[in-house]
A and B are shown apart, each in its own frame.
Chain A
Amino acid sequence: MKLPYVEYEAPTSVAEAVGLLAEHEDEASVLAGGQSLIPLMALRLARPAVLIDINGLSELSLVKVTDGRVTIGAMTREYVAEDSATVGDTVPLLAAALPLIGHEAIRSRGTIGGSLAHADPAAELPAVAVALDAEFVVRSLSGDRVVPASEWFQGYLATSRRPDEMLVEVRFPAARPGTGVAFEEVARRHGDFAIVGLAVSLTLTEGVITDARLAFAGIGDVPVRAADAEGLLVGERPSAELFDEAARQAVAGIDPPADLNGSSEYRKKIAATLVRRGLQRAADNAHGRQ
């Protein structure tokens, strides 16, 4: 399981990196944390002609808050985001999901941008991005383009990034007061990919749900927003009956894949359980934050 031959570039500026992508397009892979790409190459399932190593681009490592939006640079390491008080305060759903990503050594190298550009539908961060309507900023030689999360994830390991574009930052809305979050998942072991995962955010205003976000990981080729369930929740007061109804609604239309970890039926069942548990936990946390 040794990596196949590959050419290697280590640009020292974003402009240089983007220039290399313009030159090589689909023949190149961007190497960020490497925690997903290097295993694929070791298994010789991925064989890019060129690796563009962007670990030298320190300008892509940042967390900043402006006008109710939190901008996280694509090369921000997962452990940095995990330890960041800013992230904890302003994007609590991201903070809830980060400790579930693999193990500490993975998060030492893995990056926010890398995970979102890799777009594994069973991973935690894509579900968070979809739940929060994050914005993806990609750069090419022609400039920057902003892609909403609803359009970013196109399929299994596929995004709407064009071959000459590089993800440079992701923007999340800052959580409003009264927001409680949860990231629930069923995984075979601590640190594994979710069989099914769920990103939940609830905002309560005077005890009434004024905002509800639910996005699944692991039930399709891309993260899946449970929009109908969200609609059911807004305007209501939290209750077990409401959450049961939301769970039914959330899984009504889904058609999860089957694999070694479970059948489609199994995923549907646990998806419903995660909705109930996630909503309860988020509601409890929201009360804490009011």
Chain B
Amino acid sequence: MAQIAAERYTGASIKRSEDPRILTGRGRYVDDLKLPGMLHAAFVRSPLAHGRVLSVDASAARELPGVVLVLTGADLETMTIRGQDPLFAMMGAGGPMPDYSLLATDTVRFVGDPVAIVVAESRYLAEDGCDLIEVDYEDLPPVVSAATALDPGSPPLFANLGDNIIGPHKRDEFGDVAGTFAAADVVADFHIDVHRHQNVPMEGRGCVASFDPDSGFMTVYAATQSVHVTKMAVASRLGIEPDKVRVLAGDIGGSFGLKIGASREELAAAAASRALGRPVKWTEDRSENLAASGQAREESFDVRAAVSKDGDLLGLDVQMVLDNGAYPVMGTMVPSIMEMMLPGPYKLAALGFESTAVATNKASYIAYRGPWASETFVRERVIDLLAAELGLDPLEIRLRNIAPRTDPPHMMVTGRPLVGVTSAESLERVAELVDVPAFRRRQASERAKGRYLGIGMATFIEGAPGPRSPEGSSGLMGMEHMRLTLASDGVVTLFTGQMPHGQSHQTTLAQIAADEFGVPFGQVRVVVGDTDVVPFGLTGGSRSATMTGGVALHGARQLRGKVLDFASALFEASAQDLEIADGDVFVRGDPDSAMPVAEVARQAASGEFSVDADTAFEVEAAYDGGEGGWSGGSHCAIVEVDAETGIVTVERYVAAEDCGALINPAVVEGQIRGGIAQGIGAVLLERSAYDADGNYQSATFMDYLLPTACDVPRIEISHLETVPLDADVNFRGVGEGGMIVAPPTVVNAIEDALAPFGVRIYEQHLPPARILELIAEADAG
């Protein structure tokens, strides 16, 4: 029978082991790296949204002292193997496959499209070299809106495709859509737009690629969410045997989905390194990051809702168009996830869903924290809109429609079981914490004074990793692997393919392993970021709490078993009578028998004991997610809208979250608050703006506005008691939830604040000018 580990660390806000180096400036980010002989790269980028490249003249650049190499798109075609973006290639979406070169050769397809790489002694000189390169372009008419892209007559971005429809256009139906709509009391139509915005981690993309001509080895120091995916990308696109590619990563300054695989620029830098036999560093600057690294969320939805007059949400029929930008990365995969998630925790009986993705002359639609988040925005917005139409309370509609927690669980109409979902509880919890009736009284008295306060709520679930599926493992990306060792110094080491970029894995995983194995927290080391030593893994999809927490727990348990099997010979006791706690192995009930784990390990390694037990204290563990489970929660925001200036202040924000068992509450809360801040930013501040000619208008932090300490209020978080589904692993992911549900929460509150004006909101971005427009339009209409 498995011993139940005394939980000392798990569940506690253990201080992070990452922080001493972070707080003293000793973090090691990719731009901090200096290698002997290292050179620096910069890119010439298209100033046009759409154009033919007629000629590239790099002669002056090549002559600039300090410039060592210039490679054009054409040069790189001879040095690399054509392919797709690694995330696109990994996940596969079906649909037309556009054919394009690593850097632009004959066609540029968005402002910022890289055309040539300049490698020089310093970044300053590389940029000087870029200034000297003359590119002759011929303007082509830009395709800047989905509407234009849908027109079969629009100039195709890719010569091998006939048009700009780039994702598989398909319609699915779940349940009896026609019948549900025919029988409904009320059928309402809405058109909802979500605007383009983007990840913007504080550290941009970058790498140092270092090719050793003697051995033929390529080492890439990367900022990535997976060293192994980066390795695969580099190996396949540069045509190097994977065994000769090593990817290393140190500290990473955030990502939120941006840094997966290897970007075109990183591959170009690697090719340049190989050509030169010297390390080449490329770290993008903020203009590149904002204009060229990719953006997300630009989607539009036509939603038809079938409801009863009492507020039963019977069916939804949704047609979406996704603006994929030019080069496909993640956009075409998002609609199918949205389709699956749209019913949320509700009893929705019928869903029709149709999606189209189009190519436009903009930066690529990439993964951004909760890539499918717009399904929650659309659903939670529609519920409030229906509530207004029917004259019902939106909270009541939600509670009325939440699927009850039954056994067997209620099935989402799209096929997944709503097992362990606590949406009703989280809605009731936020309502209680906020004291809605008291707020309504305050709202009324403030309205009388000309002040507009509003309250909004929204609820969501997230497959983090999702419930066990009939096919086998939970979660989008399959089994999670980990190697665990016990060394003769008594240190337990976890080798994981997770690549933390703010998630604190080096702390949380150590907490779990320390508890399960029985050593102090400081006696566990977590190794990440080296393809030579860690198993395959990827940090993303909010999977690590369950998948990696689970493999750490089970792996530590297996390792403990091995150690006790050997120790039983040492102690001349049965392994079942032995314990490991506080770093000592001892016979239960006999504390004087204690021997430090290090001593046991030393003896095993010494070979002094010949035993019929495994003395190599190493475990290769794999975990399929166990029962998995949903994460989710309900959020509530109270806002004030200044109806004269359009400025919105978030006065109060309350979140009730259920992410199962907490590994480290402070880490969980940090993730939630960070996601909510991005959601507030999306609604009030952030927009990746293109003009009618496809010129990018948000390429500095003066134009792309991020929320600051004055924009994000104190966020109150209430954790719900989880519904445990698994005997051991009930940690669920929490990384993306805040960003998924915060936008509808805030927009619902703004609409409530503007109710006296009769405002209805069908969009996500509400800067001050737009608020005043909505008020004026409602007045006029």
Contact B708 A269 (CB under 8 A): no
B711 near A: Cβ within 8 Å?
yes
Contact B645 A263 (CB under 8 A): no
Residues A261 and B767 in contact in the complex (CB < 8 Å), given A189-B711, A269-B644, A270-B645: yes
Contact B767 A3 (CB under 8 A): no
Contact A186 B647 (CB under 8 A): yes
**How many Å lie between the Cα of A261 and that of B647 in the bound state?**
12
Contact B645 A273 (CB under 8 A): yes
**How many Å lie between the Cα of A279 and that of B685 in the bound state?**
29
A64 near B: Cβ within 8 Å?
no
* Complex interface: chain B residues within 8 A of A2 (CB): 123-124, 127
**How many Å lie between the Cα of A172 and that of B285 in the bound state?**
41
Contact B708 A190 (CB under 8 A): yes
Contact of A269 among B123, B287, B767, B772 (CB under 8 A): B772
**How many Å lie between the Cα of A192 and that of B700 in the bound state?**
13
Interface residues of B in 130-150 (CB under 8 A from A): 131
Give B699 Cβ to nearest chain A Cβ, in Å.
Answer: 9
Give A147 Cβ to nearest chain B Cβ, in Å.
Answer: 29
Give A110 Cβ to nearest chain B Cβ, in Å.
Answer: 15
* Complex interface: chain A residues within 8 A of B685 (CB): 188-189
Interface residues of A in 231-279 (CB under 8 A from B): 260-263, 266, 269-270, 273
Residue of B with least CB distance to A2? B124
Q: B284-310, CB under 8 A of A: which get 1 and which 0?
A: 011100000000000000000000000
Q: B513-524, CB under 8 A of A: which get 1 and which 0?
A: 000000000000
Residues A189 and B705 in contact in the complex (CB < 8 Å), given A260-B689, A261-B769, A262-B768: yes
Residue of A with least CB distance to B709? A190
Interface residues of A in 180-199 (CB under 8 A from B): 186, 188-193, 195
Give A254 Cβ to nearest chain B Cβ, in Å.
Answer: 16
Residue of A with least CB distance to B769? A262
Residue of B with least CB distance to A1? B285
**How many Å lie between the Cα of A201 and that of B1 in the bound state?**
81
Contact B700 A190 (CB under 8 A): no
**How many Å lie between the Cα of A240 and that of B433 in the bound state?**
40
* Complex interface: chain A residues within 8 A of B647 (CB): 186
Q: B678-705, CB under 8 A of A: which get 1 and which 0?
A: 0000000101010000000110101101
Interface residues of B in 746-781 (CB under 8 A from A): 767-769, 772-773
* Complex interface: chain A residues within 8 A of B702 (CB): 193
Q: A1, A186, A261: which has the most chain B beta carbons within 10 Å?
A: A1
B646 near A: Cβ within 8 Å?
yes
Q: B409-451, CB under 8 A of A: which get 1 and which 0?
A: 0000000000000000000000000000000000000000000
Residues A3 and B124 in contact in the complex (CB < 8 Å), given A189-B685, A273-B645: yes
Contact A263 B124 (CB under 8 A): no
* Complex interface: chain A residues within 8 A of B128 (CB): 4-5
A43 near B: Cβ within 8 Å?
yes
Interface residues of A, count at CB 8 A: 23
**How many Å lie between the Cα of A138 and that of B697 in the bound state?**
36
**How many Å lie between the Cα of A5 and that of B128 in the bound state?**
8
**How many Å lie between the Cα of A261 and that of B124 in the bound state?**
33
* Complex interface: chain B residues within 8 A of A4 (CB): 127-128, 131
Q: A1-43, CB under 8 A of B: which get 1 and which 0?
A: 1111100000000000000000000000000000000000001
A145 near B: Cβ within 8 Å?
no
* Complex interface: chain B residues within 8 A of A162 (CB): none
Q: B272-292, CB under 8 A of A: which get 1 and which 0?
A: 000000000000011100000
Contact of A260 among B131, B286, B645, B698 (CB under 8 A): B698
Give A122 Cβ to nearest chain B Cβ, in Å.
Answer: 10
Contact B711 A43 (CB under 8 A): no
Residue of B with least CB distance to A266? B769
Interface residues of B, count at CB 8 A: 30
Contact B124 A190 (CB under 8 A): no
Contact B710 A186 (CB under 8 A): no
* Complex interface: chain A residues within 8 A of B287 (CB): 1, 43
**How many Å lie between the Cα of A186 and that of B649 in the bound state?**
13
A289 near B: Cβ within 8 Å?
no
Give B136 Cβ to nearest chain A Cβ, in Å.
Answer: 20
Residue of A with least CB distance to B707? A189
* Complex interface: chain A residues within 8 A of B697 (CB): 260
Residue of B with least CB distance to A258? B769
Contact B646 A189 (CB under 8 A): no
Residues A44 and B131 in contact in the complex (CB < 8 Å), given A189-B685, A260-B703, A273-B644: yes
**How many Å lie between the Cα of A262 and that of B773 in the bound state?**
10
Contact A186 B769 (CB under 8 A): no
Give A117 Cβ to nearest chain B Cβ, in Å.
Answer: 20
**How many Å lie between the Cα of A44 and that of B769 in the bound state?**
31
Contact A186 B645 (CB under 8 A): yes
* Complex interface: chain B residues within 8 A of A43 (CB): 287, 700
* Complex interface: chain B residues within 8 A of A192 (CB): 705
Contact A266 B124 (CB under 8 A): no
Contact B703 A266 (CB under 8 A): no
Give B573 Cβ to nearest chain A Cβ, in Å.
Answer: 65
Contact B646 A266 (CB under 8 A): yes
**How many Å lie between the Cα of A270 and that of B689 in the bound state?**
23
**How many Å lie between the Cα of A5 and that of B131 in the bound state?**
11
Contact B710 A266 (CB under 8 A): no
Give B202 Cβ to nearest chain A Cβ, in Å.
Answer: 15
Residue of B with least CB distance to A267? B769
Give A35 Cβ to nearest chain B Cβ, in Å.
Answer: 12
* Complex interface: chain A residues within 8 A of B711 (CB): 189-190
* Complex interface: chain B residues within 8 A of A260 (CB): 687, 689, 697-698, 703
Contact A266 B768 (CB under 8 A): yes
**How many Å lie between the Cα of A1 and that of B124 in the bound state?**
8
* Complex interface: chain B residues within 8 A of A44 (CB): 127, 131
**How many Å lie between the Cα of A270 and that of B769 in the bound state?**
9
Give B683 Cβ to nearest chain A Cβ, in Å.
Answer: 13
* Complex interface: chain B residues within 8 A of A263 (CB): 769
Give B777 Cβ to nearest chain A Cβ, in Å.
Answer: 12
* Complex interface: chain B residues within 8 A of A5 (CB): 128
Residues A188 and B123 in contact in the complex (CB < 8 Å), given A4-B128, A4-B131, A195-B768: no
Residues A189 and B710 in contact in the complex (CB < 8 Å), given A1-B285, A2-B124, A3-B124: yes
**How many Å lie between the Cα of A195 and that of B689 in the bound state?**
18
Residue of B with least CB distance to A192? B705
**How many Å lie between the Cα of A4 and that of B125 in the bound state?**
9
Residue of B with least CB distance to A3? B124
Q: A63-75, CB under 8 A of B: which get 1 and which 0?
A: 0000000000000
Residue of A with least CB distance to B687? A260
* Complex interface: chain A residues within 8 A of B687 (CB): 260
**How many Å lie between the Cα of A5 and that of B708 in the bound state?**
34
* Complex interface: chain B residues within 8 A of A191 (CB): 708
Contact A266 B644 (CB under 8 A): no
Give B453 Cβ to nearest chain A Cβ, in Å.
Answer: 19
Question: 11 additional contacts, CB 8 Å, given A188-B685, A260-B689, A270-B644?
Answer: A3-B124, A4-B131, A43-B700, A189-B685, A189-B705, A190-B708, A190-B711, A260-B687, A261-B769, A269-B644, A273-B645
User: What would 10 A/B residue contacts be, using CB atoms closer than 8 Å?
Assistant: A5-B128, A43-B287, A186-B645, A186-B647, A188-B685, A188-B705, A189-B711, A260-B689, A261-B769, A266-B768
| Nearest 8 interchain pairs by C-beta | A262-B769, A266-B769, A190-B710, A273-B644, A2-B124, A1-B285, A186-B645, A270-B645
- Residue numbers of B with Cβ under 8 A of A are 123-124, 127-128, 131, 285-287, 644-647, 685, 687, 689, 697-698, 700, 702-703, 705, 707-708, 710-711, 767-769, 772-773
- Residue numbers of A with Cβ under 8 A of B are 1-5, 43-44, 186, 188-193, 195, 260-263, 266, 269-270, 273
